[in-house]
Structure 1
Amino acid sequence: MKDRNTSRADRHGLWLDLAMVVLMIAAFGWLAFGPGFAFATSGIGALLAFPFAIGALYARRMYTADDYPLTGCLIIPVALLVAILAVVWLGGFEGLICIAMILPLWIVGGAGGAFAVYLLRYTAGDGDADSGGARLNSVGLALAPFAIIWAEMTAPAPWEDRIVSRSIDIDAPPSEIWPYLVEIPDIAENEGRRTFTHDLLGVARPREARLVHRAGLLVRKARWGRDIRFEEIVTKVVPGRSIAWLFAFPDDSIQRYTDRHIAPDGPILKLVGGGYDLHPREDGSTRVVLSTHYRMRSRLGWYLGWWGERTLGDIEENVLAIIRDRSGNVTDRRS
């Protein structure tokens, strides 16, 4: 009779943990893709606590096994989290750039949750994974990430201002380079340089930037790939020396064709402005500096800031390479 009761408790505990995992994934999906919850997916709760809880719930299930290998404890929950992200990407729900940003944190969180429970079992010895207290722990683990997400939404992180700059030395005077800072028409697909952001993460490459006059303003109208459009409202022009602008986004083409959670004027990220500066050098060459100013807020600013530096830096280096090649040899730029 005792064995039968134990077996029944094991099954009840297993189904409870499975139900907690399913409910967590469903609730997280609602937060990630539901209306008005964009900010919920950028903090500690979503990026670390959620995978930690998934890993811990799986490791808790391993209590009932006679053999409790550390490798299985770590690998299986991580594989589950990777599979979730793969389904999200293959289903077209998320762009590759967002998946790449989430994946390292989810691996660390999932493995960390499983390892924490493993250590608790190792130090505390055998225990009943399906006792009343253990079942309460399952519910607590499932609710903890959403409690953290709610706290982060209630008291959001402050905005941080960041500037990403890249430079290139071009063997030409400022007068030959300046026209390509003002506008660059008909950019071929093979212009520029190979980058991690464009070639691996799939961010579209620039196709043109044209200067137009509108309502007394100078506006650089940019098009990237076939579908992405945005504008740069020129705020300062010193011919042959510098040009600066503020970004404007007349539609949602950036998030629609890149990643829905990377809105350039949203609750997490705001692309503010940018500009070029030309610095003549004594040897007759010119140093061109391209800068981008953006604002972001997240409890994980140190991590997301690294991605901002990497992706925006790649984009700037590609644009500077196009300017260099056109300034040096316009006729051969399509070869």
Structure 2
Amino acid sequence: MRNEPDDDTRFSGLAPIDGPAPPAGDPPKRRLPFRWFWPMLAGAAIAFVLRLAFSGAPGHGYSAMLGTFIFLAPALCGAVTVYVAERIERRSWTYYLVAPWLSTALFVLGTLFVFIEGLICAIVVVPVFAVMGSLGGFAMGLVCRVTNWPKPALYSFAVLPLVLGAIEPQFPNPERLSSTARTLFIAAPPERVWHEINNAGAIRPEELGDAWAYRIGVPMPVSGVTQETPEGRVRMVRWQKQVHFEELVIEWEPARHVRWRYRFAPDSFPAGALDDHVMIGGHYFDLRESGYTLVPRDGGTELRLDVSWRVSTRFNWYADRLAQFLLGDFSEHILRFYKARSEATATADAHTGPMIRP
């Protein structure tokens, strides 16, 4: 009875193409320096080329925010990494999963280096890229181990994003509406808190803390002042980097409740202020409404902040959770800002008399 060949014999056709073994006594072949690095560089390079192809405008073909790019670019990066590595020598299953993390990281750093991507997008997309890179690397490792056609499989994988990148925009993105709320007690009367909300001027960075949104590059608020205009009350907001927009007041109960909806102008976000892909009021993300509710309690005020938004992507399951985290954290820091200002001025009023302007 004939014995079955073992795995090394059966898949020898996939082994690295190094030629026949040198005769005994021959000097060993010189190998390329940093051989461990070349597979990662190859994976990052092919993903970078794909990013150049996906430079379309938001909502159009070959946009970098298409699910096709977000999922398949890092997967292709991982697949190329493993394919090149297998051409050098057989790798482990762990390598298939872990090596793509480095190649996708190199890819993201490359896009930052040449200013294709901004810091905000780069930071928020890294977890997705790492997971998809591992899946692509694992799939290519499986192909290399159990088939005789790793190269055709890689070619097919490389063509797939180019085909789907033209088809996906023909179908509208799913839309998800969400909201978050935070509450904080302030040791100041509602009238004082109300004044601070509608007259927040000359905001200093140290007053806002280190919210995660600021850490990844979102400009900090500079002022937010409610004004009377011919169309009604409008809160004029300014952020760093010359960002400016308006909040149209739609509910107004002095010292009790205020709610507004956002209005953004074409020049609200100057070039470089935010990444184009996460532009507020844009194709993929929008702030809808915010509101403050003031409730007298225990000699002070319970201040509640509600924020609602929209995300419209092929990966809303991720984008919405990210928005929940960032906007929830942002809301907590804003409430602390109003708490600090209200309590400080309330203490000053206790010594010098009320200074609240009408």
Q: Do both proteins adopt the same fold according to a TM-score greater than 0.5, normalized to the shorter chain?
A: yes
**Hey, what does 1:295 align to over in structure 2?**
310
Asked if residue 237 in structure 1 is aligned to residue 255 in structure 2, the reply is: no
**Hey, what does 2:132 align to over in structure 1?**
109
* CA distance 1:86–1:21, change in 2 (3 Å): closer
* CA distance 1:138–1:118, change in 2 (3 Å): closer
Asked if residue 119 in structure 1 is aligned to residue 134 in structure 2, the reply is: no
In terms of Rg, which structure is larger? 2
User: Which amino acid is the alignment partner of residue 302 of structure 2?
Assistant: R
Alignment of 1:1-335 (within 5 A): 25-32=48-55, 37=60, 40-122=63-145, 124=146, 127=148, 129=150, 134-135=151-152, 137-198=153-214, 200-250=215-265, 251-253=267-269, 256-281=272-297, 283-330=298-345
Distance in structure 1 (CA, Å) of the matches to 2:277 and 2:244: 17
Distance in structure 1 (CA, Å) of the matches to 2:325 and 2:238: 21
Distance in structure 2 (CA, Å) of the matches to 1:243 and 1:185: 18
Please, which moves more after superposition, 151-160 or 266-275? 151-160
User: Which amino acid is the alignment partner of residue 179 of structure 2?
Assistant: I
Do the aligned residues in 1 keep the contact of 2:241 with 2:273 (CA within 8 Å)?
A: no
Cα deviations by residue, 1:52-108 (Å, 9 ceiling, x for unpaired): 122123323344334323444444433222112112223333222211111011111
User: Which amino acid is the alignment partner of residue 316 of structure 2?
Assistant: G
Which structure dedicates a bigger proportion of its chain to helix? 1
Identical-pair percentage: 24
User: Which amino acid is the alignment partner of residue 63 of structure 2?
Assistant: A
SS of structure 2 residue aligned to 1:79: helix
TM-score by length of 2: 0.77
Distance in structure 2 (CA, Å) of the matches to 1:105 and 1:241: 42
User: Which amino acid is the alignment partner of residue 252 of structure 2?
Assistant: V
**Hey, what does 2:6 align to over in structure 1?**
none
Distance in structure 1 (CA, Å) of the matches to 2:301 and 2:272: 37
Cα deviations by residue, 1:142-185 (Å, 9 ceiling, x for unpaired): 12223344443111232211112222111122112111122211
Distance in structure 2 (CA, Å) of the matches to 1:304 and 1:221: 28
SS of structure 1 residue aligned to 2:290: strand
Could you tell me which runs of 5 or more consecutive residues in structure 1 were left unpaired when the two chains were aligned. 1-5, 9-17
**Hey, what does 1:14 align to over in structure 2?**
none
Do the aligned residues in 2 keep the contact of 1:212 with 1:218 (CA within 8 Å)?
A: yes
User: Which amino acid is the alignment partner of residue 181 of structure 2?
Assistant: S
Could you tell me which runs of 5 or more consecutive residues in structure 2 were left unpaired when the two chains were aligned. 1-16, 20-40, 349-358
Distance in structure 1 (CA, Å) of the matches to 2:347 and 2:212: 25
Distance in structure 2 (CA, Å) of the matches to 1:284 and 1:162: 33
Deviation at 1:186, TM superposition (A): 1.0
Q: How many residues align?
A: 310
* CA distance 1:252–1:182, change in 2 (3 Å): closer
RMSD, matched Cα: 2.9
